Structure 1
Amino acid sequence: MKKITIAIDGFSSCGKSTMAKALAKKLGYVYIDTGAMYRAVTLFALRHQLFNADGTVKEKELKTLMPDIHIRFQLDPSTGNPRTFLNGECVEKEIRGMEVSQHVSPIAAIPFVREALVAQQQTMGKEKGIVMDGRDIGTTVFPDAELKIFVTASAQVRAQRRYDELKAKGMPADFDDILKNVQERDYIDTHREVSPLKKADDAVELDNSKLTIAEQDQWLYKQYLSHLPV
């Protein structure tokens, strides 16, 4: 069966990664978490003190260091899920914390960061047979993807999911702080100058506020089947 490219875009904490991972595993496709790539750059910037006191980025210094940032994904044999590596170090847990969440949107809005990571993403997807999720996959990275999904849910639902996820991992979490972060990220993601978050004209929209994961996965698989080449 001919393989296709599947692009899943949407707001933060919509469960894009969860659904993309499940679909990739079901299809035997490669899953690429682009959000993790921006989070890895953010972690690098935090570790190298590349944020000013007001939260803005020291862009000149970051641009100089961008060639030193190497991101790759490696499957965890125990779970079958990909883990994110930054310069050879597994940073999967570190990039999911609130500190990174609070700083990732300004990093993702920087043109030279997006340019560098989009080039990496396009290289990863050359052979098709991939499921990639992020903010601009269907509009910028793979505008010719055979299947484009745009995922949304209310800010309150997304904040609750993020809260539950952090608590389950034994990490500190405050619902009000998370809700504020979700709303701030929505604004930044949809208003940035380069590749703002928006639904591609030919994308299928999914509001998963009230769906179970099983219902979501079933819906997504039906979309895959309906978008296969005849």
Structure 2
Amino acid sequence: MRAKCPFLAVFILLATAVLPAGQDAPVQDAPKPPESLFVRLTVYPTMSLSRYDYNNDVDLFEIRVYAELRRGSQEGAPVADARVAAFSEKLEYHEDHYEKRIILGKDKLPPDVDIEIAAPGHRVIREKFPLPAWLVLTDPKPAIVEAGQDLAVRWRFSRFPSPVDVRAYDFRTGKEFFRKDHLEEISAVIPAASLPASTIVRIYAIQSWLYKRYLDGKDYARGSEVNVIPWSQVFFRTKGPAQGNTP
């Protein structure tokens, strides 16, 4: 029996020596979830009867997409190294946001917008949201217009009519000469005395109120949102007093 005692004593000493070491081992913290992203998406369904001149890019349908990504909150630092895509087309980063103008077929206007956001350290975010309506100017047409006459401006919505703001200005000088807000009608008249002669005129109509949808979920910081603002524009030339019927 005595021969077994030294072995038992050594075993007890080893056990007491190991126990404190096990108790002092640091506790592993659970990995922290990735910081949420503040996301603001602004989408402009855009219809141009013409652009830059009366015969440039006639009947052009496009969607202009702008995406702002920030770390943690609306006041966080911009995320410049993400991949943001709309309709599978990559948006380009400019200063503090991503943007892209996507040309669409006139007869293939999408009912929804697909967005994909892949930011380092975050899972890929995919969103689909509807385009409520297209706003389309119907008059004036991209043409050469007589100065000295009242000019009718008309528009329509593909669905869900809404008040619009209308602006007109001399494209060469940048001077605005017509402004109306919250028009619930579908037309307005620019007085003859206001319409400049011998220049290029730009008129645009934009929906007075935007469509807004808030984005929720663990991927998004508070206040993340989608805004959709339909608008339409046209460029045309006006004749000068001595031009007669010559283009």
TM-score bracket, shorter-length normalisation: under 0.3
Point out the structure with the larger strand share.
2
In the superposition, the TM-score normalised over structure 1's length comes to 0.25
Point out the structure with the larger helix share.
1
In the superposition, the TM-score normalised over structure 2's length comes to 0.24
**Comparing both chains, which one has the higher relative contact order based on Cα–Cα distances under 8 Å and sequence gaps of 6 or more?**
1
